[in-house]
Amino acid sequence: MLNKRIIELFVGLFMLAGIVAMFVLAFKVSGLNMYSSRGSFQVSAIFDNIGDLKVRAPVTVAGVRVGEVDGISVDSHTFKARVGMRIDKRQNQLPTDTTAKILTAGIIGANYIELIPGYNETNLKEGDLITDTQPAIILENLIGQLIYKLGGDDSKKK
């Protein structure tokens, strides 16, 4: 009888450990606490067009993830997209003349932001604005322009 209870206790503890491990794995995979306010700083950038960029999209430098998008809004004065980014504090050496570019992972993949460091002596800090930006390239617009160019001008055909 006692032997059966010990086995049941170990099975119960094993199940509890498995459930805890699943929760830890779920939080690690989702990245919910990856860039907390203590371990990162916030910068913004103004873009003409952000395409399909989403909150929590990666922010990279040379292909290495250094942060994520934490907010997207429309600037009330310029009517352009203001993108807030949370950058890991270990990346505090990014110069103030850093360029932000919206790229697409693959041909039709998700959008992300690539930061291209400049050469300025001063570094980005909490609340800074990145002014040198390149908007997303919209595939539909490129195809439309290609079709228009290939179609030619109707006045020349007549």
pLDDT digits (tens, 9 = 90+) for 7-28: 999 999 999 999 999 988 887 7
What is the mean pLDDT of the segment spanning 97-116?
A: 87
Biggest CA pair distance of the chain: 99
Residue entry with tokens 């498995």? 18
| Nearest-angstrom CA–CA distance, 122 and 120 | 6
Does some domain include residue 117? yes
Question: In terms of domains, do 84 and 124 share one?
Answer: yes
Question: Domain range holding 18?
Answer: 1-33
Number of domains in the chain: 2
What is the mean pLDDT of the segment spanning 75-91?
A: 89
Strand order in the sheet with 64-74: 129-130, 40-47, 81-88, 64-74, 58-61, 111-116, 99-104, 133-134
Question: In terms of domains, do 7 and 52 share one?
Answer: no
